[in-house]
Structure 1
Amino acid sequence: MLKSPILTVEHLRVAFKQGQPVVDDISFAVYPGETFALVGESGSGKSITALSVLRLLPDTAHISAAAITVQGEDLLALAELQLCKIRGRRVAYIFQDPMSALNPVMTIGQQIAEAISLHFALSAQALAQRVLELLQQVEIPNPQQRLKDFPHQLSGGQRQRVMIAMALAGQPDLLIADEPTTSLDVTIQAQILALLKQIQQQTGMALWLISHDLALVSSIADRVAVMQQGKIVETGWAEHFFRQPQHPYTQKLLAALPSISHVKTPSEAVNTPLLQVKDFCCYYPIRKGLFQRVVDHVKAVDGVSFELAAGKTLALVGESGCGKTTLGKSLLNLLPHNSGEVFMDGIALHELSGEALRQQRAAMQMVFQDPFAAMNPRMLIGDIIAEGITALYPEVSATERASRVRHLLQQVGLPEEAALRYPHEFSGGQRQRICIARALAVKPRLIVCDEPTSALDVSVQAQIISLLKTLQREQGVSYLFITHDLAVVAEIADAVAVMYKGKIIEQGDAKQVLTQPQQAYTQKLLAAVPVLRVG
């Protein structure tokens, strides 16, 4: 039998500027020592729910509820000063994007110390010792040396660990973790989850996990609630929930999950190589001293060789920092490279420059990882898509360009009127579709896709993968698909190349690499992939 809840939410409604409710009459409770997962697609109201509980929403939000209580204390009745004593102390929050949540001009040591000082009166020596203990608890390597580092000097996984350390500083009874592993590599994701469970076991705190990753949730949650369009449509114990989901929306989310078991069987046909890369290297100098002399080099890409067949997909996989994105951009001459050869349909791209290189741009395009950052926020969608046509095919008339834009929007599943809107008016999945339309506008033979699905919901992710496969089937386009998500690789790739510290350590057809990996590093990546656990 469950104990008295730490958090009780009854009939919560949230609306902005007297509009439709974004959270619509939901009720739930979180109990001591349990992991409660709130899942659903982006825009379903998950984060708004958590922020409204702690009254962290802007003044434009109207919050109403029969009750929001923490261990019996009504949060809606408290003044802001009283709430500050609860936030961080009894209920702590790990925000979705640690880089934007951390102060860029304060060291991580200062930020953790500030979180402690808000709730505990400690001497300077005791405070410094507590900061060090927290960094050790979240397993930051060389914690004494990292105290004076700023957020930008840490990796994504390390920044997430610092956020966890700050949340733990108040020794909370309830920890709210809002998408704590989004965009992290599978190995780091596994480490963060193991860390949260370990801390939970040590302290007995409750964990409220907000996520759209059902495979991840199945490995950690005790109870699950599913949100759709501001409502909770299904709740249950995790073991029953994943075995027999009742609501059609839940069934749809589970059906959209990518799985390594979906890996393609290799084709018997031998396709002509479209892209050939030989001994490709990108080195960056390390400078030190008063005169900034070069003392060494960072070997971001170190002697890489591979081939990509026409009309096929090669997945380039590995952890952040292994050189995947640098390689993809350098192949298209968006970044400089030191040495190596790149042939596109037999043409030596590494020997081209100026106008000769510009003429080849139409054959090679890129879909960037962050679609919002990749588009000019002041340009209309129609102009963004048409920009490549204007630059590479100036002879095409305005009427033809407009017709081509309408056709491209239709191809990627967007209405024609989207051409007259701006990037901020679209969801993440829609913006990614726009970037794909822009890449297709000049009819390329090769598209480099850099983590195009990393931060998308499973259903939107499935739509993007389906779209890419359809376009490949209809137009014969080839993809160099850069990702750290091996389940997505299984859904789309014909061949896989595994990158580690600037080198390709294993490559072959997708089925062979994903089911019979030869290298220990590949085996480690596969072992860390979240798998839907039923029962």
Structure 2
Amino acid sequence: MNNPILAVERLSITFNHRQTVVDDISFEIHAGETFALVGESGSGKSITALSVLRLLPNNARLNAEAINLHGDDLLKRSEFELCKIRGRRIGFIFQDPMSSLNPVMTIGSQIEEVIKLHFDLPRDAIQQRVLELLQQVELPQAPQRIKDYPHQLSGGQRQRVMIAIALAGKPDLLIADEPTTSLDVTIQAQILALLKDIQEQTGMALWLISHDLALVSSIADRVAVMQQGKIVETGATAEFFNQPKHPYTRKLLNALPSMQNCLAHSTEENPPLLQVSDFYCHYPIRKGIFKRIVDYVRAVDGVSFDIQQGKTLALVGESGCGKTTLGKSLLNLIPGSGRVVINGVELNGLTGEALRRQRANIQIVFQDPFSSMNPRMLVGDIIAEGIRALHPEVSAEQRKARVRQLLQQVDLPEDSALRYPHEFSGGQRQRICIARALAVDPKLIVCDEPTSALDVSVQAQIIQLLKTLQQEKGVSYLFITHDLAVVAEIADDVAVMYQGKIIEQGGVAEVLTQPKHAYTKKLLAAVPVLKMDH
């Protein structure tokens, strides 16, 4: 494999002249190949990709012998010349499409912008190219969606638009930074198949940045592992997964959740803690000058299930199926109707003090820990907030002691109480949210995608923490997720949700190994599996 498309030689990046975040790394990417850079959050993967395009923050300093694109050293190019390379010869798919797309421009205009910048084409040809790109990325009803804004699209559709923008310049190299992190397994499988198809059609190189090793094993030709700014291992994919050499690589592979773990769960029955019968959550659709109700969005449509004491029910399904709506409406955070009984007490119709007392029995851990905490509050006050609200009789000294005990339970140092949320990593912030949920001794915790954005090793730690707390305190979980390997690891029972209804439920081993419904079979077929031979 001669003449690589991209050759990076001895690249280092420091922040504020002190903190080294990328430490003397070298690698090559060749035409037509998929090169994966893997590692945990904070290892330096994304900043390495941004440095190739010289898109670094002002306090970052880049040192390298060369960054060659087809033999052309990008370090010697001016900012004006780099503008002609970015988006044209190197395309970039950013991690979060919602924050990368312009919310006040239609998706068609945003793709047009790239084409106008890099190609001298007449108006008709530009519009035709926009439509071709949206059809190439398989956006449903592309001609009708051109004038839509990003907020009108689902997560998977927004990611497709990001790919269309990245492909608009017909790049030689496409950098995809965690392109499927927050997507459902079925959409993730579609996005990956799409990238591989486009790669085969155009012959471009694909640089994939990811912490999902199962996904990497199914798509990459070569893999490099990054740890604390250094590349610790590089090799062909088959060799990398079959004979990992570095201890850190072996640690990452060992942390992967396995679908086989569903067979290890106890099938012993416990009494029910939560009983939900015929539960609905409908949103009215209003039209016309008088905004009359013409129909309803049936987000949750007649759902019934039980959660046993000290057990975990996993609620699985794609984005938009109603999982989170159901979880939040059980806590009365959004209105719903139906019979909900917890620990023998019926929640329907409860108001005021009676409802407040029952709130201590059900708590929630949200999907994004950072946005669910007040950034101006100290962690100790965040954890103690529930105790202050639901148990006003507890003294300040007792609250402090309880916060210390909770931090210890979630494996965080005692001095964490005097720090702010932004001073912690994603995994640590999720631990703080778990401590906050445990503060009032709930009988049930609703966990809404608590591990979806975490690295495999941090995810393994959070799952282990939840299991340990369940054994020690007998707490039950409603675990909302789209990751079936995590379900196999943590759940006792599974309910599969599709378009507001539960279409299949049962013990975890039964549902994951002998699915009955076609949709459950489709979900299981889309789960990326670690491929050990290529």
Provide the C-alpha distance between the structure 2 equivalents of 1:292 and 1:250, rounded to a whole number of angstroms.
Answer: 58
Residue of structure 2 equivalent to 1:100:
99
Cα distance in structure 2, aligned partners of 1:268 and 1:309:
11
Q: Which residue of 2 aligns with 1:446?
A: 444
The corresponding residue for 1:198 is 197
4+ aligned runs moved over 6 Å, structure 1: none
Partner of 1:350: 348
1:394-405 aligned at under 5 Å gives the runs 394-405=392-403
Q: Indicate which of 477, 481, 484 corresponds to 2:482.
A: 484
User: Is 1:366 aligned to 2:364, yes or no?
Assistant: yes
1:405 CA displacement:
0.3
> Which amino acid letter does the alignment assign opposite residue 312 of structure 2?
T
SS of match in other structure, 2:235: strand
C-alpha deviation, 1:351, in angstroms: 2.3
Residue type matched to 1:13 in 2? S
Cα distance in 2, alignment partners of residues 270 and 419 from structure 1: 39
Shift of residue 268 of structure 1? 4.6
Q: Which residue number in structure 2 is paired with residue 389 of structure 1? A: 387
Tell me which residue corresponds to 1:430.
428
1:369-405 Cα deviation digits (max 9, x unpaired): 0100100000000000000000111111111100110
Q: How far apart, CA to CA, are the structure 2 residues paired with 1:264 and 1:281?
A: 33
Pair 1:122 & 2:126 matched:
no
CA contact (8 A) 1:274 1:344 kept: yes
Report what 1:157 is aligned to: 156
Can you list the C-alpha shifts for 1:459-504, whole angstroms capped at 9, x where unaligned? 0000000000000000000000000000000000000000000000
Report the Cα distance in structure 2 between the residues aligned to 1:513 and 1:21, rounded to whole angstroms.
47
Asked if structure 2 preserves the Cα contact closer than 8 Å seen for 1:264 and 1:493, the reply is no
Q: Is the 8 A contact 1:85 1:119 kept in 2?
A: yes
Q: In 1, Cα distance between the equivalents of 2:29 and 2:206? A: 8
Q: Write the letter of the residue equivalent to 1:170.
A: G
**Contact 1:264 1:491 (C-alpha < 8 Å) held by counterparts:** no
Distance 1:21 1:276 in 2: 53
State the SS of the aligned residue for 2:304: strand
State yes or no: 1:324 paired with 2:362.
no
Q: How does 1:84-99 map to 2 (within 5 A)?
A: 84-99=83-98
SS in structure 2 at match of 1:263: helix
Kept after mapping to 2: 8 A contact 1:106/1:150: yes
Q: Is the 8 A contact 2:407 2:414 kept in 1?
A: yes
Deviation at 1:20, TM superposition (A): 2.1
Provide the identity percentage.
75
2:241 maps to a residue whose letter is: F
Tell me the SS of whatever aligns to 1:232: strand
C-alpha distance in structure 2 between counterparts of 1:254 and 1:363, whole Å: 37
Residue 524 of structure 1 aligns with which residue?
522
Deviation readout 1:222-263 (Å, 9 max, x if unpaired): 000000000000000001110010000000000000111111
Q: Please give the alpha-carbon distance, in whole angstroms, between the structure 1 residues aligned to 2:264 and 2:520.
A: 19
Over residues 180-204 of structure 1, what are the superposed CA-to-partner deviations in whole Å (9 max), with x where a residue is unaligned? 0011000000000000000000000
Match of 1:183 in 2: 182
Q: What amino acid is aligned across from residue 139 of structure 1 in structure 2?
A: E
Aligned residue among 468, 471, 482 for 2:469: 471
Cα separation, 2, equivalents of 1:323 and 1:397: 40
Determine the C-alpha separation between the residues in 2 that align with 1:147 and 1:20: 44
Q: Which segments of 5 or more consecutive residues in structure 1 lack a partner in the other structure?
A: none
Q: Displacement of 1:270 after TM fit? A: 2.1
Q: Which residue of 1 aligns with 2:131?
A: 132
- Which aligned pairs between 1:136-285 and structure 2 lie closer than 5 A? 136-285=135-284
* Contact 2:316–2:481 (8 Å) recurs in 1: yes
Q: Distance in 2 between matches of 1:351 and 1:504?
A: 25
For 2:476, give the aligned amino acid. S
The offset of 1:264, in angstroms, is 4.0
Pairwise CA RMSD: 0.7
1:265 shift after superposition? 4.1
State the alpha-carbon separation in 2 of the partners of residues 356 and 465 from structure 1: 33
SS in 1 for 2:214: helix
Distance 1:244 1:316 in 2: 36
Amino acid at match of 2:458: V
Distance in structure 2 (CA, Å) of the matches to 1:370 and 1:239: 34
Deviation at 1:266, TM superposition (A): 5.0
Q: Does 1:515 align with 2:513?
A: yes
Shift in Å, 1:525: 0.3
2:509 maps to amino acid:
K
Partner of 1:503: 501
Question: 2: distance between equivalents of 1:7 and 1:270?
Answer: 58
C-alpha displacement at 1:51, in angstroms?
Answer: 0.2
Q: Structure 2 CA distance, aligned partners of 1:477 and 1:280?
A: 23
Q: Give the counterpart letter for 2:204 in structure 1.
A: M
State the 1:49 CA deviation. Answer: 0.2
- 1:65 maps to 64
Write the distance in 1 (CA, Å) between the matches of 2:257 and 2:524. Answer: 14
User: Structure 2 CA distance, aligned partners of 1:242 and 1:365?
Assistant: 40
Alignment of 1:294-305 (within 5 A): 294-305=293-304
Find the residue that maps to 2:270 and give its secondary structure: coil
Residue identity matched to 2:326: L
Q: Counterpart amino acid of 1:105?
A: V
Separation in 2 of the partners of 1:139 and 1:151?
16
1:421 corresponds to: 419
Shift of 1:267: 2.9
Q: 1:293-326 CA deviation, whole Å, 9 max, x = no partner? A: 1110000000000000000000000000000000
CA contact under 8 A between 2:267 and 2:507: conserved in structure 1?
Answer: no
| Contact 1:6/1:32, CA 8 A, preserved across alignment | yes
Contact 1:368 1:451 in 2 (8 A): yes
Deviations 1:278-299 (A, max 9, x none): 0000000011111111110000
Give SS of 1:10's match. Answer: strand
The change in CA–CA distance for 1:311 and 1:264 in structure 2 (over 3 A counts) is farther
- Indicate if the aligned counterparts of 1:3 and 1:32 stay in contact, CA closer than 8 A: no
The separation in 2 between residues aligned to 1:370 and 1:479, in whole angstroms, is 18
Supply the distance in 1 between the matched residues of 2:266 and 2:40 (Cα, whole angstroms). Answer: 35
1:350 counterpart SS class: coil
Could you tell me which amino acid in structure 1 is paired with residue 294 of structure 2?
Answer: V
